[in-house]
Amino acid sequence: MYGEGIIKGMAQTAKNFVTSYIDKDRLTTVEYPEERLPLSQATRNFPFLVFDNDPEKGLRCVACKICEKECPPQCIYIILERDEKGKPKKAPRVFDIDISVCMSCQICVEVCPFDAIKMDQVYELSRTDRFGGLLLNKTDLRKSNEYYHSIHPDEAAEVDARLAEEKAKAAAKAAAPAPAKPAAAATPTAGGAVSPATTTPPPAKPVADPKPIATTATEATKAAPNPAPTTGTAGILPASSPPTPTATKPTQTELNL
């Protein structure tokens, strides 16, 4: 019959309308905002930052900036915190997310190695300021681990168990004794036993007597070694030798006498 479907639909609506006054299960709507339906655990919209205990010191984020690099629309902005000497403090000084740009893809959550960022479920985010009002800063974004448990209980329990396991492993590793260093070259003893090497320093070489330094020309002459003989006329004699007397022939007068 033509219009039968419409009649069936109208009948169902009328039935729900009448019975909703006596049967609460027939009431499929709630009086929002006074009343709200519970959200599924899988509901997600924009990210938030998780902290443990203390909102200032307990922030899990170490400002590694992996999420900032991986965010497809680049709507995360992070500046690392530093102390007065400029040393990094493993915490963000600035952590902003522009939720007017965020597309709720959850990639930032997937890539975070510290379980520091998770997806929130808040949906009442209307603002009168289109730009500044939708730019969430670190104070807006940080929320406790208890809040995380309240919106994603199964996921939060799994994360807590994993973090506790990693913490226990790190503590056990820190408490383990350091491996012994390999011993230096051992020296065999007369009995064949090997004793730890005792390094005996080699005997020091005797230092040669320093030569006296001449301070005057005379001393320098004395101190100087004999010069080598030179060739030539004057030569065979040392330069310092006195000149040899030359033999002179007798004159004719002397011969006559």
Pick the stretch among 65-73, 161-169, 228-236, 240-248 that binds ligand SF4 (CB under 6 A): 65-73
> What minimum distance in Å lies between the beta carbon of 20 and ligand SF4?
39
CA proximity to 136, closest of 75, 89, 80: 75
134 near ligand SF4 (CB under 6 A): no
159 near ligand SF4 (CB under 6 A): no
According to CB under 6 A, which one of 20, 52, 55, 66 is a site residue for ligand SF4? 66
Buried residues in 19-42 as b, exposed as e (16+ CB within 10 A): eeeeeeeeeeeeeeeeeeeeeeee
141 near ligand SF4 (CB under 6 A): no
Name which of 20 and 105 has its Cβ closer to ligand SF4: 105
Pick the stretch among 19-27, 34-42, 110-118, 177-185 that binds ligand SF4 (CB under 6 A): 110-118
Q: Using an 8 Å Cβ cutoff, are 237 and 227 in contact?
A: no
Handedness of CA 234, 236, 237, 240 (dihedral sign): positive
What mask, x for binding ligand SF4 by CB under 6 A, covers residues 69 to 88? --xxx-xx-x----------
Element (H, E) at 151: helix 145-151
Name which of 78 and 134 has its Cβ closer to ligand SF4: 78
Q: Using an 8 Å Cβ cutoff, are 117 and 61 in contact?
A: yes
